[in-house]
Structure 1
Amino acid sequence: MTELTKPEIEFPTGPAPESLEIEDIVIGDGAEATANSTVDVHYLGVGFESGEEFDSSWSRGESINFPLKNLIKGWQVGIPGMKVGGRRKLTVPPHLAYGPAGTGHPLSGQTLIFVIDLLGVS
């Protein structure tokens, strides 16, 4: 597998999408993630409107490992079918992320962009 580096996300143009957008940047050739998988990922998250990074496993220097069913809906829908070694960009509207504005989460009401590198599945 090619050594991956922290991705850069180009500032989006146009209005935020109403539905989840999935774009494969690199197609992996390893095991495939399913809805019931535990995934080991590196990721970068930025706000669609601001372009500001709000979270990144790269910045912490280590990947995260989580059952997919414990993550936001956009990841639950957007990661299955992805294969280890792949890099995928998800543009996630608020209803598939942290809900509408005012629900208490700092990212509620925001469309979010994630670039996810799938390192492993179990």
Structure 2
Amino acid sequence: MKPLVRSTAIAVATLLALSACKGENKPVEVSSSKAEADKAATDKTGYPGLPTEKEQVSYTIGMAMGKQLSEIKDEVNVDTVVKALRTQMDGGKALVTDEQAQQIMQAFGQKMQAKQIAKMMEEGKANLEKGEKFLAENGKKQGVVTTASGLQYQVVTEGKGAKPGASDGVKVNYKGTLLDGTEFDSSYKRGEPAVLPLQGVIPGWAEGLQLMPVGAKYKFWIPSKLAYGEQAPPMIGPNQMLEFEVELLEIVKAPSGN
């Protein structure tokens, strides 16, 4: 959890810079002449409410800090954060030593890591159940074939060419979506086909593409065990069942190094 500790430290340091510009935690009365001057300055800079460079920089720093701290907003007390920031800026005596601060942040990092793992396990269980339920119903639909491994596919357009082997590479166009319809990858949006080795793709793809003749377009429904399982990228999530539309354009020599 070192990145968490590091980002939190940066966020805290930045909040100090922001708090220094605020002054005391009391309302400040602004004279009409001062308000008019600020408005005139704002009109020139184009940043409403931020008439000076110092305020613009301070606000921008605060925005960056807010984004970082928002990830752990339920774990921190902003007033206490500001208190520590001001103490450090004023050269006062801190309530904890640097060594104690490191121990606190290490324990906090471990706590946050445990929470993240628990959250992923809960999400993974829910995703697995949803995927299994979907596949059970989808497998009953006309035209959907379920293989011995659990992969499901449907022929959209049949091809007339050869079928790739396990050691081949393929040139394909494809679109991948989650169970809720969220699109997470698409060669169509990138504007060019992908060239991939079958030995380097997820098991569901490797199996499914070997069923396809060149020129074919298939739909795949890939259970999580044949996709990314629990170790899925964040954009996909643990134990997600994946749906793909795949067009097999060519069989090619597998890219070297795979």
CA contact (8 A) 1:16 1:93 kept: no
Tell me the equivalent position of 1:54: 184
Match of 2:213 among 83, 87, 91: 83
Structure 1 residue 119 corresponds to structure 2 residue 237: no
Tell me the equivalent position of 2:240: 110
Q: Which has the higher contact order (CA 8 A, sep 6+)?
A: 1
TM-score by length of 1: 0.80
CA contact (8 A) 1:41 1:120 kept: yes
Question: Match for 1:77: what amino acid?
Answer: E
- Partner Cα distance (2:232, 2:219) in 1: 26
Displacement of 1:25: 0.9
Aligned residues: 106
Secondary structure, aligned partner of 1:59: helix
Tell me the equivalent position of 1:6: none
Q: Which ranges of structure 1 fall in alignment gaps of 5 or more residues? A: 1-13
Tell me the equivalent position of 1:11: none
Tell me the equivalent position of 1:31: 162
Secondary structure, aligned partner of 2:134: coil
Decide which structure has greater helix share.
Answer: 2
Structure 1 residue 96 corresponds to structure 2 residue 216: no
Decide which structure has greater strand share.
Answer: 1
CA contact (8 A) 1:31 1:120 kept: no
CA contact (8 A) 2:223 2:240 kept: yes
TM-score by length of 2: 0.39
Deviations 1:37-96 (A, max 9, x none): 100000000102x11111100000000001111000100111103111100111001111
Secondary structure, aligned partner of 1:17: helix
- Partner Cα distance (1:53, 1:21) in 2: 19
- Partner Cα distance (1:72, 1:44) in 2: 15
If you compute each CA radius of gyration, which structure gives the higher value, 1 or 2? 2
Structure 1 residue 15 corresponds to structure 2 residue 133: yes
Aligned sequence identity (%): 37
CA contact (8 A) 1:29 1:85 kept: yes
Displacement of 1:104: 5.2
Task: Describe how 1:63-78 pairs up with structure 2 within 5 A.
Answer: 63-78=193-208
Q: Which ranges of structure 2 fall in alignment gaps of 5 or more residues? A: 1-131, 137-149, 253-258
